Structure 1
């Protein structure tokens, strides 16, 4: 089998970053529930897995540092070290350092001096916790075990039950020589001679051996080394070796840390050293014989316990680990890892298939071929199913992105000295992975800004009758075929007068301008605009909010603000679910074609003569509701003959309605979104383009931007 080491290394980097994310989430849970044993185990497993995988690739720096962190984590797992806020902070720092080491290795560069110094500082702090343990914390001793011979087994000694066969002397073997050799591995602290198999004097054969021995051995050797002492007499004796009771916890820890490819009970017990390969083979052979005779399969663990090969506690630990591994593998078996580029290629091919299908359908309609049109209709349904399936492949839950902000909130709140709690809602909401990857930076800026400027200090909050702890919320939900992401804080809100004063100073508005709240709040998105009285490490320099809006608009999204002074603010981001293929509604205006997302279309009505028109502005009385209109032909200054009648496409976005006046209604249309070139990216009201079956280009309308135009024009018309 040919193995591409480069691919394996990239897989290691991807999996390690996922494990570091799991480690961070578990550590943040431990801040609130320090007694959560499962979270502690999750942190330990992540560190242990990264260390083991790093060793396979010879990444010694990662192995050495992670081993130090793992040692302290092991003490926490064994309740030898209390977990407090300081230690959790240290582990978070270790997690960040491991990530830096991974990034350095992935980039193929040498570790810089700052990274090395940070690692030395963290390692020194970890060593302090290891140094404290030996001086202050006693080791717990397990209860003594019952031996085969009926005696007590000391907690720190190996117990050997040895029964020599009667022919051992005839085969030239001296039993005492093996016991003397056993003494070279450590100290024989107790030896009992058993004569229960000794016959009467009349039936005794002087050349036969009838004795057995119960031995307690204090030794640092492992089980396989002790068993090898009796290698030449294994066929002439019965040997059972039980490890020291004080080592049970070590064996259990080894079992829990085993890689997941050891999923069988016997393999796990051999891998941790509790059972030798010979003992496993003998137990398996006995199991096979018993099942053939009784037609029932006795569990392997029961056989080993009955034969005094291993303690029941170790079997239980191995079975528990086996169950955990099989459950995780069954879950992972449902997923396959696919490179994002392959998914992008698939989406592009599906998009081309949609365009080609539209072309075939147009040709069939022109030729008025009924049979072909029926076939095209069936193919179109299949293409739509393929399109939906391909799009679902790229849909991911936004909860993973939200959870990353737990660390941001923790670190920033400590930096600025505020007690802030993060609340997450709608974590299961799904959207395109491309959108998820690009929304992280705008969200980070909004979150940090809300914590620094939005939420007040504890004394100010208490003086205003609020709880000392501030609350920051991240919410997500679906609306009108898109997704809404909210950043909500219960802070002081935006100061309208301060924003207006700053805007006048910068010449953005005139002294007599009367702006609605929404227009006032939007001023903070102007480049260089800031009302912060002091510049901090987080914000206040007047950069960032304009970039936030620009990045969101690049995703064909919008951002709006709701704020009440003294109560709090809500930043609401509206995004499309996907940037690739949408269900659209096709319209004709003059000689051009336009598309709007179908989810935004409420209804279509004929423009009647009762529509009011005033100074180039329209509005329509739609069943008692004033509907602002925007004539697409006039807005884009199109030339060409209009249709015999005009139609109104009623669209909605963010709870607002507007009517788009067009010439023709061409119906539903699967639109493959193509980005605009840099020459056209600043055209207001256009968010992209698509290709029709005829090969013509249709522009995708930016409905929120056109709604703003229609609302402003309609308001001016009504006032006039």
Structure 2
């Protein structure tokens, strides 16, 4: 028996819908006349309302009904989506989120938000737009026997699938939604109800015929069944007055309607293009079914799985990869052709399973970037700074757990850029800049790393102020020499801030410390580049430490190491006679380009004599190419990353360890930190050489 909480299922689905609604509202602010965006927002609201009622969140459903009613004027073109309306709609979105978490939220706040939303939609665009009759006016006109619009409407016939009740669909809610559009005549068709002894209590046997007498569009009727119509029988036909029906029959001998609700091109409620096409297919049973396949083909089935199960699956696949490596090594030792064939087949299947399993954890970083549009929008309104938010590289994929940990650091970086980096409009005008500042968030793969950059076109960092605050805090000695990069990274020290006063956004020196601690925990690094008067770019560099990677197995002395294959550019033999130059550095001439190299024997203090013909593995770290000198290149292998213990957490040059096919352990090199460590070693050695020379 399932232990899944239906309320939790709704909350998860509602979170996605609320995110869709928010993105649509922010897009609508930039493109207020885009009908597709309006439709996207409206469908999100409609789904939330129906799902909320289905799962017992009545407060959510009732609030969204009023929200939807007000926003419907935007969809009909009676109101324009200006900044005031978008602000009110975003407040309403926030209130929906609060109602889902706590249905007992003070209803007065919701009423105030709805009142503000109604004021916003009743402004611009109302006078210029045509004034369609509301449902009440249509009913009054019907009583007074007014023109044909009084009896215009729709005849709706629908039958839900047999398992609809089991899946949580409530037909009474659908009928209520139809009643909310206008006066309805309902008829339940019980022809298919079996005898009592054969009735299944959870199956739906009824069909319904509904005559809706209201001047509403077919789209409004269709929206009632938007999320249940794929597997149901549905027919929506326009009603017509007697006069228009006579004109329709006289004008087209192909149509013969036995029922008073037959289609007619003169129906006031239906647009001409729709009513012209509908009657021909009205009596054809294939009509409703023809609409379903396109809807099904556009949908992508998804299944929510707890993250713990994915972690467990990844662990099992990792163990399978290790077992497969042992089998392959055993097959090579025994030299049995049949065993070799089986080992190769298992290796192929294991690789495919590994890629599929890893793909379930990989998420485009655009799912994270989308959250910050609202943050930038609200900060822009709060500080009075017009800001253009640009996101690039949204399809760059990262492990879901890494993306979740990046949320807080990026929030702090964005708030810092908006508050400290971007100037006020009048200040930007004085320096010849556009009044609208630009905040850019980008992501890209660079070898075995992912680089995430937050950049702005603001005033840049003030090096003198940073140095003065660092000296006051005792982080720097007065006059101590320091590079620009190291000075800029001082802003990430705990409690460090250059703000002259504490505000609601910044000034306490906490946010940047959070950034540094999180990135250090992910074994990444931070670069800060700034140009005074032109802006600042903060780049977060993270290693691609997935659970399973392709690696290049190498030997240094008696020890074996794995280099992530994504970082490897090429392999070659170390030329004979290559030695250090006078400056204490080692270089290779690769097709006219000087590439520095590091001898892993020296870095790891490996004992014994090196092999006579050493090899160089050229790796890429960001824009830097470095050669790693090893004794032997063994070959490629699938590497299962095992995290190091807390005792070894300070070894930044290794990202983990892996178990080889023979049961021995090989350390996995962290290319980014290894190169940085090698550079520090070379600089220390160079300084010692210069000191002895002096």
Q: Same fold (TM over 0.5)?
A: yes
Q: Aligned partners of 1:541 and 1:321: how far apart in 2?
A: 62
Q: Aligned partners of 2:573 and 2:470: how far apart in 1?
A: 42
Q: Aligned partners of 2:232 and 2:636: how far apart in 1?
A: 59
Distance 1:685 1:116, change over 3 A: farther
Distance 1:498 1:625, change over 3 A: farther
Larger radius of gyration: 1
Q: Aligned partners of 1:302 and 1:620: how far apart in 2?
A: 91
The answer to whether the 8 Å contact 2:24/2:38 transfers is: yes
- Greater alpha carbon shift after TM alignment, 530-539 vs 319-328: 319-328
Structure 1 residue 455, shift from structure 2 partner? 1.0
Distance 1:659 1:274, change over 3 A: same
The answer to whether the 8 Å contact 2:265/2:276 transfers is: no
Residue equivalent to 2:682: 714
Match of 2:332 among 346, 362, 365: 365
Match of 1:140 among 132, 135, 144: 132
Check if 1:156 corresponds to 2:150.
yes
Q: Aligned partners of 1:40 and 1:487: how far apart in 2?
A: 30
Q: Aligned partners of 1:621 and 1:241: how far apart in 2?
A: 82
- Greater alpha carbon shift after TM alignment, 388-397 vs 10-19: 388-397
Distance 1:406 1:268, change over 3 A: farther
Residue equivalent to 1:349: 316
Residue equivalent to 1:269: 236
Check if 1:496 corresponds to 2:458.
no
The answer to whether the 8 Å contact 1:45/1:257 transfers is: no
Q: Aligned partners of 1:510 and 1:53: how far apart in 2?
A: 63
Q: Aligned partners of 1:483 and 1:266: how far apart in 2?
A: 50
**Secondary structure, in 3 states, of the residue corresponding to 1:365?**
helix
Residue equivalent to 1:10: 8
1:109-258 equivalences in 2 (<5 Å): 111=104, 118-126=109-117, 139-141=131-133, 153-157=147-151, 221-224=183-186, 247-249=214-216, 252-258=219-225
Instruction: Deviation per CA, 1:355-410: give whole Å up to 9, x if none.
Output: 11111222233445555345423432332232223223333322222222111110
1:438-517 equivalences in 2 (<5 Å): 438-517=405-484
Residue equivalent to 2:101: 103
Residue equivalent to 1:691: 659
The answer to whether the 8 Å contact 1:262/1:268 transfers is: no
Alignment TM-score, normalising by the size of structure 2: 0.77
Distance 1:130 1:670, change over 3 A: closer
Distance 1:348 1:680, change over 3 A: same
- Greater alpha carbon shift after TM alignment, 433-442 vs 351-360: 433-442
Residue equivalent to 1:658: 626
Structure 1 residue 689, shift from structure 2 partner? 2.0
- Residue ranges of structure 2 left out of the alignment (5+ in a row): 139-144, 155-181, 190-208, 241-253, 282-286
Residue equivalent to 1:571: 538
Residue equivalent to 2:25: 27
Q: Aligned partners of 1:300 and 1:569: how far apart in 2?
A: 74
Q: Aligned partners of 1:346 and 1:472: how far apart in 2?
A: 39
Q: Aligned partners of 1:264 and 1:610: how far apart in 2?
A: 73
Structure 1 residue 681, shift from structure 2 partner? 1.9
Alignment TM-score, normalising by the size of structure 1: 0.74
Residue equivalent to 1:191: none
Structure 1 residue 322, shift from structure 2 partner? 8.9
Distance 1:613 1:351, change over 3 A: farther
Residue equivalent to 1:702: 670
Instruction: Deviation per CA, 1:682-705: give whole Å up to 9, x if none.
Output: 222122222222222222222211
Distance 1:252 1:652, change over 3 A: closer
Q: Aligned partners of 2:297 and 2:101: how far apart in 1?
A: 31
**Secondary structure, in 3 states, of the residue corresponding to 2:560?**
strand
Aligned length: 609
Residue equivalent to 1:63: 61
Structure 1 residue 638, shift from structure 2 partner? 5.6
**Secondary structure, in 3 states, of the residue corresponding to 1:156?**
helix
Match of 1:612 among 555, 580, 587: 580
**Secondary structure, in 3 states, of the residue corresponding to 2:529?**
strand
Q: Aligned partners of 1:157 and 1:302: how far apart in 2?
A: 11
**Secondary structure, in 3 states, of the residue corresponding to 1:248?**
coil
Structure 1 residue 632, shift from structure 2 partner? 3.7
Structure 1 residue 252, shift from structure 2 partner? 4.4
The answer to whether the 8 Å contact 1:586/1:669 transfers is: yes
1:520-531 equivalences in 2 (<5 Å): 520-531=487-498
- Greater alpha carbon shift after TM alignment, 553-562 vs 348-357: 553-562
Residue equivalent to 2:46: 48
**Secondary structure, in 3 states, of the residue corresponding to 2:460?**
coil
The answer to whether the 8 Å contact 1:673/1:689 transfers is: yes
**Secondary structure, in 3 states, of the residue corresponding to 2:658?**
strand
Instruction: Deviation per CA, 1:573-592: give whole Å up to 9, x if none.
Output: 23345622111122233443
Residue equivalent to 2:245: none
Structure 1 residue 298, shift from structure 2 partner? 10
**Secondary structure, in 3 states, of the residue corresponding to 1:392?**
helix
- Greater alpha carbon shift after TM alignment, 483-492 vs 254-263: 254-263
Structure 1 residue 433, shift from structure 2 partner? 2.6
Match of 2:92 among 91, 94, 107: 94
**Secondary structure, in 3 states, of the residue corresponding to 2:102?**
helix
Structure 1 residue 316, shift from structure 2 partner? 7.6
**Secondary structure, in 3 states, of the residue corresponding to 1:155?**
helix
Distance 1:274 1:450, change over 3 A: farther
Distance 1:593 1:264, change over 3 A: closer
Structure 1 residue 567, shift from structure 2 partner? 0.8
Structure 1 residue 301, shift from structure 2 partner? 12
Instruction: Deviation per CA, 1:173-230: give whole Å up to 9, x if none.
Output: xxxxxxxxxxxxxxxxxxxxxxxxxxxxxxxxxxxxxxxxxxxxxxx85234899xxx
The answer to whether the 8 Å contact 2:239/2:263 transfers is: no
Structure 1 residue 309, shift from structure 2 partner? 10
Residue equivalent to 2:503: 536
CA RMSD of aligned residues (A): 4.2
The answer to whether the 8 Å contact 1:141/1:155 transfers is: no
**Secondary structure, in 3 states, of the residue corresponding to 2:404?**
helix
Match of 1:435 among 402, 406, 409: 402
Q: Aligned partners of 1:415 and 1:590: how far apart in 2?
A: 61
Match of 1:674 among 633, 642, 649: 642
Residue equivalent to 1:259: 226
Distance 1:58 1:361, change over 3 A: same
The answer to whether the 8 Å contact 2:572/2:616 transfers is: yes
Distance 1:49 1:333, change over 3 A: same
Q: Aligned partners of 1:463 and 1:550: how far apart in 2?
A: 38
Match of 1:383 among 347, 350, 353: 350
**Secondary structure, in 3 states, of the residue corresponding to 2:648?**
coil
